[in-house]
Amino acid sequence: MIVESLALGKRSLTKWARNPFAVIATSLQALFWLALFGNSFSPANAFTSTAGGSLGALQQAFSGAPNYITFLTPGVVGIVALVGMSFQGVDLVFDRITGYIDLLRAFPIPRTSIYFGGVVQNIGKGMVATPIAFLLALVVPNGLRLADGFGVINVIGVLATMAVLTTVFSMFFTGLAMSVKSTDSFFGAINFLTFPIMFASTAFFPLSFFPAWLKPIAQANPISLACDAMRLLLVNGSLSVSQASAFLWDWAGLLVYGVVFAALGITMARNALRAR
């Protein structure tokens, strides 16, 4: 199954790489969030007013980030992962419409490899797009400021968190893409799901900004878990015991999502691929 999944993943990635517009559009999405939203959002200006002294209450609320874009960067990574993983599934919808998936169903391959091929291509695209978001955050005005002591371990931790978040979303949205029967249903489902996931998370605002009823939802959101883990690594060069513990809890939460979304995704895909 691995060989077939990788072959199908490579097929989509090759097509994607040969379509410069798709690659550029994915990268520019992060740039717009960082340069436009990150610079125009007012809390960034509030941080500036507190410069020169100890961290203000507002800055503390934003995870101790030295500026808003440093806080926002993991959020943008989360949004790029969410939007990217959800919309990339359209390839599978078109494969179904054009009959390619039906053709694959007549191939001597495990049918779940069609699902995992979709997961592989999504992760591949996500692992290009999310590091680009980070690199862009370093170069935009008032951009990402890394903590003293930010080193190789932090880079690995950030990349690994991106990979896990990308995989979590890919597992779910690939299954969803395989189970819808038209592009209209697909885009309807994506729009219905992505906005609440995006805004009920700590991608843009710290948890303390949320009303009490929304806090548990925002806290348990996979984007929040990934953002919190990445922020710990970005804002603090080395982690204290309590910070390391918080980091591990965030990761544990992401892994649980990974298992649950994989189960959901495989179930949706199997159901869609079953002979009827």
Partner 1 sequence: MNSTIEVEGLTKTFSPENRAVDAVSFKVGEGEVFSLLGPNGAGKTTTIRMLTTVTSITEGKAMVGGYDVREDPGAVRGLIGVVPQEVTLDNELKGMENLLLTAKLCRVPDQTAKSKARDLLRLVELEDSANRRVGTYSGGMKRRLQLVTALIHNPRVLFLDEPTVGLDIQTRTKIWDYIGHLNRDQGLTILMTTHYLEEADKLSDIVAIMDHGVIKVSGSPSDLKESLHGDVLTVAVEDGGEDLTRFLRSVPSVTEVTHVDHSYRLKLPKVESALPAIIASIASRNLRITETSFSKPTLDQVFLEVTGRSMRDAQEANGHSSNGGSYAAAHRSEAK
Rounded-to-integer distance, Cα 94 and Cα 84, Å: 16
Q: Least Å distance between CB 21 and partner 1?
A: 12
Contact 46, 61 (CB under 8 A): no
What is the x/- site pattern for partner 1, positions 216-235, by CB under 8 A? Answer: --------------------
- The residue among 102 and 263 lying less far from partner 1, judged by its C-beta, is 102
Q: Answer yes or no whether residue 8 interacts with partner 1 by CB under 8 A.
A: yes
Contact 135, 195 (CB under 8 A): no
How many Cβ atoms sit within 10 Å of the Cβ of residue 184? 10
Among the listed residues 1, 14, 45, 153, the single contact to partner 1 using CB under 8 A: 14
List of residues 6+ apart from 255 with CB closer than 8 A: 164
Rounded-to-integer distance, Cα 216 and Cα 239, Å: 25
Contact 218, 165 (CB under 8 A): no
Q: Least Å distance between CB 174 and partner 1?
A: 18
Q: What is the DSSP letter of 239?
A: -
3-state SS class at 160 = helix
Rounded-to-integer distance, Cα 4 and Cα 259, Å: 22
- The residue among 52 and 108 lying less far from partner 1, judged by its C-beta, is 108
Q: Answer yes or no whether residue 4 interacts with partner 1 by CB under 8 A.
A: yes
- The residue among 106 and 241 lying less far from partner 1, judged by its C-beta, is 106
Q: Answer yes or no whether residue 181 interacts with partner 1 by CB under 8 A.
A: yes
Q: Least Å distance between CB 249 and partner 1?
A: 41
The residues in 85-144 that bind partner 1, with binding defined as CB under 8 A, are: 96-100, 102-109
Q: Answer yes or no whether residue 2 interacts with partner 1 by CB under 8 A.
A: no
Which positions touch partner 1 (CB under 8 A)? 3-4, 7-8, 11, 14-15, 18-19, 96-100, 102-109, 181, 275-276
